[in-house]
Amino acid sequence: MSWPVAHFTTGGTWMNDPNGLVHRDGVWHLFMQHNPDGDDWGSIGWGHATSRDLVTWRWEGHALPATPDEMAFSGCVVSDRLDTAGFARDDDGPAGPMVAVFTSHHASSSPRAGTETQSLAVSHDEGRTFARWAGNPVIDVGRQDSRDPQVRWDPGAGHWRMALADPRGRRVELWTSRDLRAWRQVSTFGPHGSVEGQWECPDLVRVPVAGGDSTAWVLLVNVDRGGPTGGGSATQYVVGEFDGTTFTAAHDDTRWLDRGHDHYAAVTFADAPDGRAVSLGWAGSWLYARDLRGEPWGATMTLARDLELVPESPGAEVRSLADLVVRSVPVLPAGPLPGLAVHRVRVARAERRELVLHARPDPALRLGLRVEGGPAERLLVVDRARCAPAAVPPEHHRAAVALPDRDVDLLVVADAGVVEVFADEGRIALTEQVTRRAVLSELAG
């Protein structure tokens, strides 16, 4: 058995959504939903890991634990450089304190049982420990489902902006605050696109437009039980306009950041350098995540990905924001990393191709990659029937996505337990969990 080398995992303890993604002083911080007491969902708080290259990660410990009255559900971390919340201490440094804005999921013992509220916690030791603010909650709308705040500082407006999910309403609420404590709702977006499942983990982010200095607004919305592969968990995105108060979609169609079975809860890092929009997701699916108990680890995070906006086809004229789609460029090590396999393949426009990604020395463990069909209807098919974990139902062994009528490059990245496939310069991505018994490192065909 091998362990993943470029996909973060907590090992034998439960992990799901990435939380609190933030860049500070050259360090990338990853928090995540984590149960330190076992390999199943429960007693959820926040674990913490750090990286200097977005590839190799160091475990820092369990930073924000559950209490008898509440679990700490998903949220974000901001660097309060201007001390807007008044939490700063002399030893915080120029980046200010780390403030976690998270969802309190209240237990039956809580006076707020049956609701979810938004809360603050503060760290003065670079995220190793957090203390809940005594004035919580900062938002209480009285609903059973209200969660996953994602907060960014708007320097032009001089306030914080929050995207908050109304899961059952399939809406994203936008809120503003000057001090992280008192919040005001200013608009609502949705429903839009995929509305079969509940909406979670929204993120309103500026994404660079490739080939220039401009950016455009993209809203990430994670949809549980409404994805493109048999109704699983997935991340949709909406390109649009944001006027500081209201987000307006530029298109009506549903667009997916990843069309595999195992990509969910993707959000971006706050304060990423050089204007980058860097996303990270959970390489898991709620359709079978809890059935993976007994495996050496339940799931990993995905690779970090630089998001860019590009024309739907290379060289196409861009007449409006609707003509731009998101390209995902995985962050890979600068050189070879033992245990990580990276393959690049070019498939010609009229070519049919069958590739096999297999383990060594056991070629029976294999993932099929096929380009099927003719010029008018080409498909990229990823088939994990011979390498999926035993708990994955057969109806979720195969993922397929339409390919454009042109030459296409494939990038295949295989680590222990997970394979990510990128096509058409990253316009297409598919993430699949695979066997933990060996790395599918060899590509043939």
The set of catalytic residues is 17
Which CA distances in Å does 78 have to 160, 200, 320? Answer: 10, 19, 32
User: Rounded to whole angstroms, how far apart are CA atoms 182 and 392?
Assistant: 44
Give, for 25, the enclosing helix (H) or strand (E): none
User: Rounded to whole angstroms, how far apart are CA atoms 217 and 195?
Assistant: 21
Strand order in the sheet with 159-166: 147-154, 159-166, 171-177, 184-189
3-state secondary structure of 242: strand
Strands 341-347 and 408-415: antiparallel
3-state secondary structure of 352: coil
Q: Are 285 and 264 in contact (CB under 8 A)?
A: yes
**Cβ contacts of 60 within 8 Å, gap of 6 or more:** 48, 49, 50, 127, 128
3-state secondary structure of 291: helix
User: Rounded to whole angstroms, how far apart are CA atoms 410 and 416?
Assistant: 20
Which CA distances in Å does 142 have to 117, 166, 297? Answer: 8, 12, 36
